[in-house]
């Protein structure tokens, strides 16, 4: 495991962090605690020392799970990160209330890296007016938090003013080779690093969209490289190639992926990619921009939908439709997964959208969700939907 130094405190953090937003789940979508615990502990045993969670992850169950998973001496081996749910804060007292509840959930007396969660311009203005700087200062003074930071999902113009509004120790930004100019982007990464902040990166694989369904035309570009690497390795190495990046979070929930990420994190030095390799990534980026229809990362902030639409899953299949070598198979999977056949509950189709607009203010990617859902309906549903549902029911009944 390689480590990088936090500028303001000298902490040596593993370049690979364990993100607890997408833990393995059972059929009822509850955390598969035994498997998840083994995964977290395996990663720690192999050098990971930064573990990240948040108040809303897994419907509020991620923090209590992690408190249990880090028992037996594992808490002392890691720097623990969690986040103040900024959108729930209505008073200065709320800040202490949530932090104290998180300490209890996580079974600890301090949070090593505490973030103000999911900031955009208006949310920052709100918590700032309610006394967030006073709260952070007092929580650091009394030892409940050690380092103060923020996670960012806003427009690039807001990033600098938030960085400049407080003496932050670190920040968390979305960053990958498709997001150099999105949200904080490369300019924000470099600005924060120049100010002495540790930069933690989330969504290095863009919610799995850079690895889960890799179109043949992209595979062909990757295959031109003299050194053979998986799409995940290319994406992770590209982020780690930036010297200003301290830690890259991976929402690891598969044992093989964990082992691969650990291997890569033994080798991914800053500025280690050649000019030819960087040019190869540029070509892949350009090809993806030709293919992707919607910039959803599957973060789930838009959920639950009051009309029952599974927005991230609709967008996942919509993007996959335009990446897949077999579009009909993707339409079949849309019918299977969103028709209540491979999931618990009622259908979750895009066509259930009532255009209430509640999702618009929640989306960190600023996607016009209702409008895109109309396109999903047009391309993924149509007159053959019920036929696909019936076919799926028959097939999975046989299984």
pLDDT confidence bin for 383, thresholds 50/70/90: confident
CATH topology (fold) of 3-280: TIM Barrel (3.20.20)
Q: Strand 3-5 and strand 12-14: pairing?
A: antiparallel
User: CB-based contacts of 341: which residues, under 8 Å, 6+ apart?
Assistant: 335, 389, 392, 393, 396
Is-cis flag, bond preceding 248, omega within 30? no
Instruction: Decide which of 92 and 300 is more confident.
Output: 92
| pLDDT over 70 at 399, yes or no | no
User: CB-based contacts of 4: which residues, under 8 Å, 6+ apart?
Assistant: 12, 13, 15, 245, 246, 247
- pLDDT, tens digit (0-9, with 9 covering 90-100), for 340-378: 765 546 889 999 999 999 999 889 888 999 999 999 999
Domain boundaries, the chain: 3-280, 311-397
The encoded tokens of residue 234 equal 């290319």
| pLDDT over 90 at 394, yes or no | no
pLDDT confidence bin for 398, thresholds 50/70/90: very low
- pLDDT, tens digit (0-9, with 9 covering 90-100), for 32-62: 999 999 999 999 999 999 999 999 899 899 9
| pLDDT over 60 at 220, yes or no | yes
* Distances from the Cα of 260 to the Cα of 230, 236, 257, angstroms: 9, 11, 5
User: CB-based contacts of 371: which residues, under 8 Å, 6+ apart?
Assistant: none
Give me the pLDDT at residue 324, please: 65
Q: What is the mean pLDDT of residues 213-239?
A: 94
- pLDDT, tens digit (0-9, with 9 covering 90-100), for 59-107: 899 999 999 999 999 999 999 999 999 988 999 999 999 999 999 999 9
This model's pTM is above 0.75: yes
Quick one: which H or E segment has residue 13?
A: strand 12-14
Instruction: Decide which of 66 and 291 is more confident.
Output: 66
Q: What is the mean pLDDT of residues 13-34?
A: 94
Q: What is the mean pLDDT of residues 300-316?
A: 90
Residue 6 — φ and ψ, nearest 5°? -75, 120
Q: What is the mean pLDDT of the chain?
A: 92
- pLDDT, tens digit (0-9, with 9 covering 90-100), for 151-207: 998 778 899 999 999 999 999 999 999 889 888 999 999 999 999 999 999 999 987
User: CB-based contacts of 395: which residues, under 8 Å, 6+ apart?
Assistant: none
The encoded tokens of residue 377 equal 């309906």
């Amino acid at each position: 495991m390689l480590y990088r130094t936090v500028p303001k405190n000298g902490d040596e953090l593993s370049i690979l962090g364990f993100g607890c937003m997408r833990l393995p789940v059972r059929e009822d979508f509850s955390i598969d605690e035994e498997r998840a615990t083994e995964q977290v502990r395996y990663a720690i045993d192999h050098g990971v020392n930064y573990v990240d969670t948040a108040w809303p992850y897994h419907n509020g169950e991620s923090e209590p799970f992690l408190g249990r998973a880090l028992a037996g001496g594992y808490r002392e081996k890691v720097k623990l990160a969690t986040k103040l749910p900024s959108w729930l804060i209505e008073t200065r007292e709320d800040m202490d209330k949530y932090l104290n509840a998180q300490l209890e959930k996580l079974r600890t007396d301090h949070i090593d890296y505490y973030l103000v969660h999911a900031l955009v311009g208006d949310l920052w203005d709100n918590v700032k007016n309610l006394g967030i700087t006073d709260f952070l200062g007092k929580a650091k003074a009394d030892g409940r938090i050690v380092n103060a930071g923020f996670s960012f999902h806003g427009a690039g113009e807001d990033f600098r003013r938030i960085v400049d509004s407080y003496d932050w120790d670190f920040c968390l930004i979305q960053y990958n080779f498709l997001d150099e100019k999105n949200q904080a982007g490369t300019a924000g990464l470099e600005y924060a690093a120049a100010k002495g902040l540790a930069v933690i990166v989330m969504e290095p694989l863009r919610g799995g969209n850079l690895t889960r369904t890799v179109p043949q035309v992209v595979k062909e570009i990757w295959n031109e490289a003299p050194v053979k690497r998986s799409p995940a390795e290319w994406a992770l190495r590209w982020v780690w190639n930036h010297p200003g990046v301290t830690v890259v979070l991976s929402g690891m929930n598969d044992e093989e992926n964990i082992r691969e990420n650990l291997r890569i994190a033994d080798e991914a030095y800053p500025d280690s990619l050649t000019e030819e390799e960087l040019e190869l990534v540029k070509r892949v980026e350009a090809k993806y921009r030709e293919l992707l229809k919607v910039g959803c990362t599957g973060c789930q902030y838009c959920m639950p939908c009051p009309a029952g639409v599974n927005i991230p899953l609709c967008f996942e299949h919509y993007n996959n439709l335009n990446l897949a070598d077999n579009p009909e198979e993707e339409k079949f999977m849309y019918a299977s997964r969103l028709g209540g056949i491979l999931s618990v509950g009622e259908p979750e189709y895009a066509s259930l959208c009532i255009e209430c607009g509640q999702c618009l203010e929640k989306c960190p990617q600023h996607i016009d969700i209702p409008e895109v859902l109309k396109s999903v309906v047009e391309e993924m549903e149509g007159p053959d939907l019920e036929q696909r549902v019936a076919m799926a029911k028959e097939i999975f009944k046989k299984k």
